[in-house]
Amino acid sequence: MKTKNIFKTLAFALLMPAILLTSACSNLNENEEPVKKGYTLPVTVNVTRQGEDPATKAKYNESDKTLSFSAGDKLFVRGSQASAGAFAGTLTWQSGGTFSGTISTEKGYAGTADELFTAAAGMIQAILLPNGYETDDYIYFINHGYDYTTEFAYHNNKAFALTKAAAVQQFSCEYASAYNSGFALSPQNAILNFTIKGLTPSTNVTATLAKGSSNLVTGSVTTDGSGIATFAMAITGDSRNINELTLTVGGKDITFTSSDNLLAKGTIYNITRNVAPALSAATTSDIGKLAGQDGKIYANKASATAAGTTAVAKIIYVGNETDASSPYTHGLALALADEGKMNWENARTTCSNKNSSLSVTDASWMLPSQAQWKTMITAADGYTALYNGFASVGGTNMQGVYWASTDDNCLDENRARITYEGRTDAATLKSNSVNVRACLAF
């Protein structure tokens, strides 16, 4: 009897691992369905770039327009076929065009690598991951039932990539158009390499590329210590005009008004823009900076040009005063150049007509009043500083006598106020020809 009990105990002990294994394999997901374990398949593939020399690979070389692999490069591959379902994996470069690693399938699969890829020919998507990148530096966004790896999901061959140093030009998102113990990559994307300046330093921000109300690609990036965000976005399709697209970074809209490029797949576009604060948000620290035609603040003319706009005025005063005769609620900026010499009526008309060239609604061009001239002279630390402070920002220094919009009816209805060498209490005939410098009130 003891011998039988010993055998029963031993048999039970031997069965325990199997019972535990069966229990572990029957874990349920949140929908109370069996979790699919899939199949891990060792893979070695040879990758070439379709239409180019087989020796050219992942790194983009501007001089000869080719791609070449280097140590540490990886290849993320995804695809699908009927018997395996979806499949994906990250392969590591070995030599030449050879990459090795494992592919995980959605369904249980017992075929070979050749059979897996052959049955999915024309449906294989490959993302080249250059040396220095990790798989989670590339983020795909989708609405799809199967998450191929913990880092990836996919949708219509669109991608967002964080950059490290200048490596973004190595980014490539392509289709494999055929398979024969290896496959050729056929470019399917235009790659937009963004450098966005003027953001909050060392801050995580969201970047979204959209066409109309439809978001094409979205991702998050952390700005550097200077407030610069660098990232790449890949979008499908030829002949998409970049003017149709809008980019929002950190809640700030960025336009492409200076470009009329038709995007082409397989092409890299380097785009630099500034995210400038709105003119209405100016503080005293912005005095001396420039107002852009887009109603934003720029450090200099070059910064405005890089953002696709034109610097139009120098910020002279920021405060909270209101001049009853010509209202302004926050600040004053003067045009970078004179409008010319003319009589008083033409001076007022010319300045107000500049409003049609300003793409912002909370600021107005006008001829400055006597009180506004006084405010600006004081803010600039005297008339000499005001009159001579424009050449340094790419404008034309002021000279001589300038009209004010203030009528001098109390003395003579034919006369209006002028400013000259700091004097704003002088007047002259409205019919006289006097210098005109337009003022931007915001």
The three-class DSSP label of residue 73 is coil
Same domain, 181 and 299: no
Residues 133 and 77 in one domain: yes
Say which residue the tokens 């989670």 belong to: 136
Do 69 and 56 contact (CB within 8 A), yes or no? no
Cβ-based neighbours of 111, under 8 Å, separated by 6 or more: 83, 84
For residue 89, tell me if it sits in a domain.
yes
Q: Where does a domain end: 274, 293, 308?
A: 274
CATH number at residue 346: 3.10.100
Q: How confident is the model at residue 275, as a pLDDT?
A: 81
Long-range contacts of 342-349 (CB under 8 A, 24+ apart): 342/433, 342/434, 342/436, 343/430, 343/431, 343/432, 343/433, 343/434, 344/403, 344/416, 344/430, 344/431, 344/432, 344/434, 345/430, 347/403, 347/434, 347/436, 348/405
Per-residue pLDDT of the chain (442 residues; tens, 9 = 90+): 444 444 333 333 333 333 322 333 333 334 333 334 467 788 888 777 654 444 333 444 555 545 567 788 888 788 888 888 888 888 888 887 788 988 888 788 888 888 888 888 777 877 776 666 655 554 443 223 333 333 333 333 456 666 543 444 455 667 777 787 788 777 777 778 888 887 888 888 999 888 878 777 787 888 888 888 888 887 765 556 777 788 899 887 776 655 556 787 777 777 888 787 888 878 888 899 999 988 888 888 887 887 778 899 999 999 866 554 555 668 999 999 999 999 999 999 999 998 877 666 567 899 999 989 999 999 999 999 999 999 999 999 999 999 999 998 777 889 999 998 878 888 999 999 999 999 998 8
Specify the pLDDT at position 11. Answer: 36
**141: domain range?**
39-187
Count of domains for the chain: 3
178 and 212 part of one domain: no
**Quick one: 63 and 113 in the same domain?**
yes
What's the length of the chain? 442
Burial status of residue 274 (CB atoms within 10 A of its CB: 0-12, 13-18, 19 or more): buried
Which residues, 6 or more positions from 417, have their beta carbon under 8 angstroms from its beta carbon?
Answer: 370, 403, 404, 406, 407, 408, 424, 425, 426, 427
Q: Domain boundary residue among 187, 206, 236?
A: 187
pLDDT at 44: 85
Q: Where are the alpha helices (DSSP H) in 26-91?
A: none
Q: Are residues 169 and 241 in the same domain?
A: no
